[in-house]
């Protein structure tokens, strides 16, 4: 099997699976309970909070655990909109965000918030000048992702954060770092964001676990009501084994970040070289050259991406059409539309995404399989 769909999700590290399984049977206490088992669970939770905070140079008190990227993003966007509705109702976002952000913004739009979108270039990159010009006195929030999940484009979020804070100190900034974490460095002392969303399953951790960085002093209105387990900001019995698994996955991923990036970079390069040579004008590379090493989005001429996906699947090669979140919707990706890709190219778009577990040999097999499929389709 060749798994080239690591941006949809990653295979958990063996050590992570073992740790989560052990904690589920041995340390099943509720971290809010006052007895010894609860206190032990709380200790695991707080140690993990410290470990994860360190990876982004944050303070442990600035980390709120959630059920994943989607919840963190909903919490940051809807929670700040509600908390600051008296200050203003103007929100700025990019048009290439993940559905978790886009649908949250649509929900806010429907209840009277004014959401304005920045234009983007051919790779989905926002314009900083336009951002600067659009910030107003009543702009309560700016939302921009750090790495695009479909294209791998790295957005200039550090520069954006400085612009936002210099234009209006009261404007809050949320960054979706789900695809950036463990791939490029994130340092909250450089990135002046107020909220940053993270997810565990993109870095070989368990699914259904995530975190929201909330800068000291930042506020939001909780979107889930209950016992207030996480600093009264997020309720629900805390998933201590899953969170511990996230912590271990992050430690392991950060240790290999450089090596993984080199491995993925070579795979990406090899695929591009081989596909360009064999497909020529039938191929279009949609990802920017200076994007993250682990994502390569390409378009194949004259084919439907689903056809290629299923041909590859028969050879046990797993890739994605557009992004995983769109792949069952059968619509042209909103992101590919935003970058101005023609419908002809957009319908044949596939995303190949790698991890440190992949090899150059797999890249060769995959490129040969794609070339073979294109040959067959052309004959048909
Ligand atoms: N944001 C981005 C950029 C993503 O790629 C994803 C997942 O694909 C999410 C948010 C959602 O994260 P989760 O799957 O943890 O809810």
Report the separation in Å between the CA atom of 126 and the middle of ligand 1, taken as the mean of its atom positions. 20
Identify whether residues 207 and 301 lie together within a single domain.
no
Out of 252, 276, 297, pick the residue that ends a domain: 252
Identify whether residues 150 and 46 lie together within a single domain.
yes
Identify whether residues 104 and 243 lie together within a single domain.
yes
Q: Whose CA is nearest to atom 12 of ligand 1?
A: 69
For residue 174, give the CATH number of its domain.
3.40.640.10
Strands 317-318 and 2-3, how do they pair?
Answer: parallel
What's the pLDDT at 323?
A: 47
Q: What is the CA radius of gyration of the chain?
A: 21
Report the separation in Å between the CA atom of 198 and the middle of ligand 1, taken as the mean of its atom positions. 8
Identify whether residues 26 and 129 lie together within a single domain.
yes
Secondary structure percentages of the chain, helix, strand, coil, to 5: 45, 15, 40
Q: Which of 303, 325, 352, 366 is catalytic?
A: 325
Out of 188, 223, 252, pick the residue that ends a domain: 252
Could you tell me the two tokens for 203? 């870095």
For residue 372, give the CATH number of its domain.
3.90.1150.10
Report the separation in Å between the CA atom of 64 and the middle of ligand 1, taken as the mean of its atom positions. 17
Identify whether residues 269 and 213 lie together within a single domain.
no
Q: Whose CA is nearest to atom 10 of ligand 1?
A: 69
**Ligand 1, pocket-test mutation among 143, 149, 243, 297, most atoms within 8 A of CB:** 149
What's the pLDDT at 327?
A: 52
- Report the C-alpha gap between 314 and 359 in whole angstroms: 20
Could you tell me the two tokens for 308? 């290629």
Q: Whose CA is nearest to atom 8 of ligand 1?
A: 8
Identify whether residues 33 and 70 lie together within a single domain.
yes
Identify whether residues 303 and 242 lie together within a single domain.
no
Report the separation in Å between the CA atom of 318 and the middle of ligand 1, taken as the mean of its atom positions. 19
Identify whether residues 203 and 323 lie together within a single domain.
no
Identify whether residues 167 and 275 lie together within a single domain.
no
Q: Is 242 left (phi over 0), alpha (psi -120 to 50) or beta?
A: alpha
Domain residue limits at 305: 2-7+256-379
Out of 252, 278, 308, pick the residue that ends a domain: 252
Identify whether residues 282 and 232 lie together within a single domain.
no
Identify whether residues 66 and 147 lie together within a single domain.
yes
Domain count, the chain: 2
pLDDT in tens, the chain (380 residues): 999 999 999 999 999 999 999 999 999 999 999 999 999 999 999 999 999 999 999 999 999 999 999 999 999 999 999 999 999 999 999 999 999 999 999 999 999 999 999 999 999 999 999 999 999 999 999 999 999 999 999 999 999 999 999 999 999 999 999 999 999 999 999 999 999 999 999 999 999 999 999 999 999 999 999 999 999 999 999 999 999 999 999 999 999 999 999 999 999 999 999 999 999 999 999 999 999 999 999 999 999 999 999 999 999 999 999 744 455 565 789 999 999 999 999 999 999 999 999 999 999 999 999 999 999 887 77
CA distances from 372 to 49, 267, 271, 276, 365 (A): 48, 19, 14, 14, 11
Let me know if 264 is a catalytic residue: no
Identify whether residues 337 and 274 lie together within a single domain.
yes
């Amino acid at each position: 099997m060749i798994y080239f769909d690591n941006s949809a999700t990653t295979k958990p590290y063996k050590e992570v699976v073992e740790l989560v399984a052990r904690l589920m049977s041995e340390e099943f206490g509720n971290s809010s309970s006052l007895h010894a088992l609860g206190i032990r669970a709380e200790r695991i939770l707080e140690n993990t909070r410290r470990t994860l905070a360190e990876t982004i140079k944050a303070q442990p008190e600035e980390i709120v655990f959630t059920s994943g990227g989607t919840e963190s993003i909903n919490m940051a966007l809807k929670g700040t909109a509600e908390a600051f509705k008296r200050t203003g109702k103007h929100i700025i976002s990019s048009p290439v965000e993940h559905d978790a952000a886009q649908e949250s913004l649509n929900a806010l739009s429907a209840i009277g918030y004014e959401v304005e979108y920045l234009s983007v270039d051919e790779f989905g990159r926002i314009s900083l000048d336009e951002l600067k010009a659009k910030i107003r006195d009543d702009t309560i929030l700016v939302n921009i992702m750090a790495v695009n999940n479909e294209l791998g484009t790295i957005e200039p979020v550090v520069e954006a954060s400085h612009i936002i804070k210099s234009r209006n100190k009261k404007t809050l900034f949320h960054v979706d770092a789900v695809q950036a974490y463990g791939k490029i460095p994130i340092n909250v002392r450089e990135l002046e964001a107020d909220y940053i969303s993270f997810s565990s399953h993109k870095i070989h951790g368990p699914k259904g676990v995530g975190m929201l960085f909330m800068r000291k002093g930042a506020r939001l209105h909780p979107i889930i009501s209950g016992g207030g387990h996480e600093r009264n900001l997020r309720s629900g019995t805390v998933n201590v084994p899953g969170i511990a698994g996230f912590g271990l996955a992050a430690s392991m991923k950060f240790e290999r970040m450089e090596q993984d990036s080199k491995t993925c970079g070579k795979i990406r390069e090899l695929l591009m070289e081989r596909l360009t040579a064999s497909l020529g004008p039938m191929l279009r590379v949609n990802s920017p050259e200076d994007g993250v090493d682990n994502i390569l989005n390409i378009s194949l001429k004259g084919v439907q991406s689903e056809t290629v996906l299923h041909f590859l699947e028969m050879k046990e090669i797993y890739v994605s059409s557009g992004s995983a979140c769109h792949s069952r919707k059968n619509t042209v990706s909103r992101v590919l539309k935003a970058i101005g890709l023609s419908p002809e190219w957009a319908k044949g778009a596939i995303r190949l995404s790698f991890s440190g577990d992949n090899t150059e040999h797999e890249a060769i097999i995959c490129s040969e399989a794609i070339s073979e499929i294109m040959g067959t389709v052309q004959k048909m």
